[in-house]
Amino acid sequence: MPVYEVNGQKIHAVTAGKPGRQIALLIHGWSSSSYAMSPLMPLLAQRFSCVAVDLPGYGESPPMAKQATIPDYADLLAGLIEQISPGPAVLVGHSMGGMTGATLALRHPPLVERMVMVCPTITGRLSSYVNIFVSPITILERFGLGGVLVRATERTVVGITDRLMRPASFSERTGITQKDYMRLRADARRPGQGRVRAECYYAMRANNLSGKIGRVETPTLVMWGAEDNTVPLRDASVVADEWPEADLRIIPKAGHWPHFETPDATRRLVASFLGLPFTNAERTVGDAELKTLDEIAQFLGNSDIGNNLNQPQRVRLAAQCRQRFYRPGETIVTIQDGGSAMYVVQDGTVEVWSDPENPGQAPKNLRNVASLNPGQITGELAMLDGGLRSADLRAGPQGATLLELERERLQALCEDDSVLGTRVLWNIATAMALRVRFILWQLQRALQKAGQGQAKPVNRN
């Protein structure tokens, strides 16, 4: 667990992932610590070198010499990125950490490539519940005698803070485990942090991002628990009104901690947005696999399904594909096979073998009727309707490298990223339309030639 030093300020951190890769900086929220980001660490560590910080005054990091402010936190983390990262970083922030990340992106845009914000405070005004029941205790803790009084009261009236904070933090149907809940509760009541908690309560209010958030140009995923009673959904409305470029998602059955309460849904959204490889979340992805993923993303820009997709979208799409290699002449699928996947030719060629004289029947005399080149798609009809294939597919004379996209992965992509999913489906439909138009043109030309042959006068000489 390294301790960094930026401008004389020590910052405790927890790290994961392979050193030397792009930095993913994880920023916790108010009354919390680096543990608040732990559910996302294994997932992010597949691709990134993760650094989850304890902000000054929280966790194991000593407080700042001056009063804490959000811009000061943002500038400090910008200095940390400059110190440890060879290029722009990915920011993942929860609650006040989301506000800090957005402030960093506004003040130091070259340092941030992408962001994920989980229940971020935008206006700095927390919910009425927090303001009425929780903030008085926080403010009282700022003063020495008040802190003693609060701790004494909590020991006397067992669980008073627990009863106050739980409905503010978690949904009625929360899926958080008791172990995680007790750890988060301990962080929220960590002794000696009363002053910084009170300072940050006012620091968030002083850093209202209304009227500014729309100037953030960094591609960003914003997630909110539908039952968040700490940072209310009215802040999500600010995002929707002022920052339409952000990808805003509302997660059911989650309060202020969706990554603990609905971890699978949250991780799936994060994986889709950041283009994480389609793999087990506990396995670190090798450098060769990441290089292949980047190469696939680059290739997709010139394919039937990659038209009008930007680089982050191509990376997300590439992460849903499996790369398959076939030897020259090897059968990929047959007419008798059911279909749940489509293919994009990445390298080599794919031969289409069919029996055009017996459509809809068992083939009797298969013939090579077409050859598909890199960038073209095939198998999309069977993938979409689950029916049998309409032709045999075989690797060409030089073999073939294919990108396989399963129906299940395409459906998940449409659910997780509706904009990207819609564009991919549109590209598939466009490619199909062009192919049908060409086939109809061929039929028309054949009929014209047949008609010309019948009308040709007979030479009787």
Shared domain check, 222 and 103: yes
Cα–Cα distance, 33 to 36 (Å, whole number): 6
Whether residue 296 is contained in a domain is answered as yes
Residue 291 domain flag = yes
Predicted local distance difference test score (pLDDT) of residue 127: 67
296 and 259 both lie in a single domain: no
Is position 280 within any domain? no
Residue 230 burial (CB count, 10 A): 24
Tokens of 132: 């009425």
- 301 and 259 housed in the same domain: no
Inside any domain, residue 67: yes
- For residues 259 and 293, state if they share a domain: no
For residues 200 and 313, state if they share a domain: no
Type of residue found at 340: S
Question: Which residues lie closer than 8 Å to 451 by C-beta, 6 or more apart?
Answer: none
CATH number of the domain residue 157 falls in: 3.40.50.1820
One domain for residues 91 and 69: yes
Q: What tokens does 270 get?
A: 């994060």
Note whether 60 and 185 are same-domain residues: yes
- Which residues make beta-bridge pairs with 49? 23
Q: Are residues 352 and 407 in the same domain?
A: yes
Query: Does the residue 453 lie in any domain?
Result: no
Q: Show the tokens assigned to 25.
A: 């900086």
Mention every residue, 6+ apart, whose C-beta is less than 8 A from residue 391.
335, 352, 353, 354, 369
Chosen domain end from 274, 297, 328? 274
Cβ distance 176 to 93 under 8 Å?
A: no
Closest CA to 427 of 413, 444, 439, 441: 413
Whether 430 maps to a domain, the answer reads: yes
Rounded Cα gap, residues 107 and 281, in angstroms: 33
What are the beta bridge partners of residue 93?
A: 27, 117
210 and 145 in a single domain? The answer is: yes
Residue 210 inside a domain? The answer is: yes
- Quote the CA–CA distance of 130 and 367 in Å, as a whole number: 72
180 shares a domain with 76 = yes
Residue with tokens 């004389």: 8
DSSP per-residue letters across 17-78: S-TTS-EEEEE--TT--GGGGGGGHHHHTTTSEEEEE--TTSTTSPPPSS---HHHHHHHHH
Strands 89-94 and 220-225, bridge-based pairing: unpaired
Question: Which of the listed residues 274, 302, 334 is the one where a domain comes to its end?
Answer: 274
Are both 83 and 157 inside the same structural domain? yes
Residue 204 CA to its chain's centroid (Å): 26
**Cα–Cα nearest to 131, from 202, 206, 29, 211:** 202
The confidence score (pLDDT) of residue 41 equals 95
pLDDT (0 to 100) of residue 439: 76
Using CA atoms, how far apart are residues 21 and 26, in angstroms rounded to an integer?
15
Using alpha carbons, select from 387, 392, 385, 380 the residue that is nearest to residue 430. 380
Q: How far apart are CA 366 and CA 368, in angstroms?
A: 7
Give me the domain span that covers residue 311: 287-446
Pull the structure tokens for residue 95: 């609650």
Number of structural domains in the chain: 2
Task: Average pLDDT across each block of 10 residues of the chain; the chain has 461 residues. List them in order.
Answer: 94 94 95 95 93 96 94 97 94 97 97 96 79 52 50 45 63 85 83 82 94 94 92 93 93 93 91 71 72 90 90 86 94 86 95 73 74 92 84 93 93 84 93 85 81 60 49
Domain end, chosen from 232, 252, 274, is at: 274
This prediction has a pTM of 0.78
CATH classification at residue 333 = 2.60.120.10
Residues 239 and 316 in one domain: no
Q: What is the pLDDT, as a whole number, of residue 441?
A: 85
Q: What is the pLDDT of residue 162?
A: 53
Instruction: Establish if 75 belongs to a structural domain.
Output: yes
